[in-house]
Amino acid sequence: MLVSTDTRPGDRMNINEIDHSSEPIRLFKSDFLEFFTHIHPAVVVALWLPPAVFMLVWPAAHLPVGSSGGFIPVAFAAGLFLWTFAEYTLHRFLFHFPARTPRQKRIFFLFHGVHHAQPQCQTRLVMPPAVSIPMGVLFYGLFSLLVGFWMGHPEWVLPLMSGFLSGYLAYDLTHYATHHFPMRQKALRELKRHHMKHHYKTPNQRFGVSSPLWDVVFGTLPAD
């Protein structure tokens, strides 16, 4: 099912393995499956912005009479913060999983290796719905279990998830921008520089995309 390429699927990438051709690396022989490996960033916005807005507005519009909605911005901010940690851990430990068997290498090449093999491919810079939707459902269930059931604050779940989804949107759009926009503002220029070094210099460090915070915390931000 997987079409072989000149890139070694799943291997740790270096600059000599990068494919600069304009033709995207084909991942599947099936045109149907191949179609779902390409996605425009507008699709991500259309898919996730409405639920993020709904999950923020609904709790505010349905507050019990006399109750305060102060928990809503706090939960939203907590969701944003949790996303930065999820972004780092998913990128470091899942997308850069040190695959050993040929089957593992094929799987993780599909997940993320193809992006390192061809980092400027415009249609493979944001997470496809086939991956993001199951992850979204998983995290919603996790928040419902831990915050809603275990901690006894079900009213926090929707705004928390709204912040988490907003962080994810910021991540995906920032990732696209770092590859295809000039980023003239200093902070954005530094994010672009940080991520380009991940691709072209230190592929097993600098895992933060929307923020280098957790690279600093966990020591994966090398000194230049």
DSSP-based three-state secondary structure for 112: helix
Which tokens hold the place of 99? 């695959």
Cα gap 198→131, rounded to integer Å = 22
pLDDT of residue 4: 40
Which tokens hold the place of 148? 């809603």
Q: Is the pLDDT of residue 22 over 80?
A: no
Cβ neighbors of 184 (< 8 A, separation 6 or more) are none
Residue pair 169/49 in contact by the 8 Å Cβ criterion: yes
Query: For 74-98, what is the mean pLDDT?
Result: 95
Q: Is the pLDDT of residue 70 over 50?
A: yes
Mean pLDDT of all residues belonging to the chain: 87
Cα gap 16→128, rounded to integer Å = 27
Cβ neighbors of 29 (< 8 A, separation 6 or more) are 1, 3
pTM of the model: 0.87
> Which of 149, 145, 196 minimizes the C-alpha distance to 174?
196
- Residue environment code for 82-117, b if the CB has 16+ CB neighbours within 10 A, otherwise e: bbbebbbebbbeeebbebeeeeebbbbbbbbbbbbb
Write the pLDDT tens digit of every residue in 91-100.
Answer: 999 999 998 8
Query: For 136-149, what is the mean pLDDT?
Result: 96
